Structure 1
């Protein structure tokens, strides 16, 4: 899946082409993908294996991609920004410039690739729209996320031959959705964006430390805690909320990996920086609707 499923887009089926065993590209750990075309737009539905999928692009590609997360999570870094996207929401990346992307184990993504020139005709510069996550719980994201999910489901399950009719409409709807987010983002300086990106990455790098706090991260960045708090408030969150969500995501990822099946749930929690097991179980259930053991049982993992 080099360059966001580049190989998948070289094998368009008409109708949909589906490959159940993608082990020929085992270094990307893909279990399955389906590829289809909607006029000028390409789409691949990629299902990951039991380990993470990192990808780093050097740029020079002629496409702009919307990544709809169907299962697991995806992080994107580009233009000095960072975002993490969860199921039911999508994020954006521009293949013409360097980017970093990581998908969780057992992740499923629908990747919609749009010709960059087609998007530039509508929005001009694409920089304001990269590394943004459009949440389906937001009013501006509900329509687009639902639309992309339905298109991907119909195409993958039905193999429709006339999806080309939806290509231009998809681009127009995407532009309407991301324009508001991009204009809001454009009001913030690139310096603040870069600092927020560095703060988030520092949290992820030190997430196993139970003593990780705002003071340590602010000190690493050379800014005050108050200023760092204002960076997170730009995205209507706080340092503590981002840290908790990051720790939960790391736990969810580990509990779904076969390679972690030998570890007790408590060990996984402590490895992700939780120092109180009861508190961990409480927030995990509030986040997922299941206890950690129930969540792990979904993947048929048995403690050995």
Structure 2
């Protein structure tokens, strides 16, 4: 089995709880991966939890009445979890300090327990949830920052496909042979994460190619030490995923490393024409601006300016 398939074990532990009072329900959810503190003003309340633990992944079919859940901030990165939620019925409101997201039947949302938030269940409803360690999800996507707290609306074809897959997983979970259970959970998680990535890419598709390159160069040029900027750093500053950034670079006919080299050569050319660097050798200037050796610098410089650094310096210093 591939390494990805081994991420979720096949061994399954199932727990089923039915409640007709709020208090025991609030106690039961404390065992779930997200640190819930629940409150309610309802005099009558009913809820049920059908939870499965499969390796490091927890799956939960939760039915609930109106209530409010508050999540304390999780300061331990090692315990950080993400949750992939499908709203089957009812209505929920996710309230973060900087935004509010409402989800309705058929909507999907990806969220984590890193930040404080409040979850309002405004009506009776049911949701299907998959909790997994953020580290495990990051291994699959390469980038979680842009995906977290994003919603897929039920009226899109992508959401319909993902919803059908999640419902089928929960419908068959009891009957799936142990040997195949982990693989099916893996497939569902991969499909959902890929779906969120595709949706995010579509949302950013209105970024014009030239505008993207201009923004990328402007951000890189803000760094006095260009070695500090990585593809992840640049993508975060552009508020897009690394994969989508790579696609935008490819569509423009450029690469991240090519942009970095271009800016290094430009800075080196400015140094070559500056009296302040007149005492530095070509090799020293190459090292100052991040080139591994003078020959590498010479090749990059010639591609950009059609001449060698030495010739460029001689011509430039004539005018100073």
TM-score, reference length from structure 1: 0.50
Report which structure shows greater RCO (CA 8 Å, sep ≥6): 1
TM-score, reference length from structure 2: 0.48
Rg larger for: 2
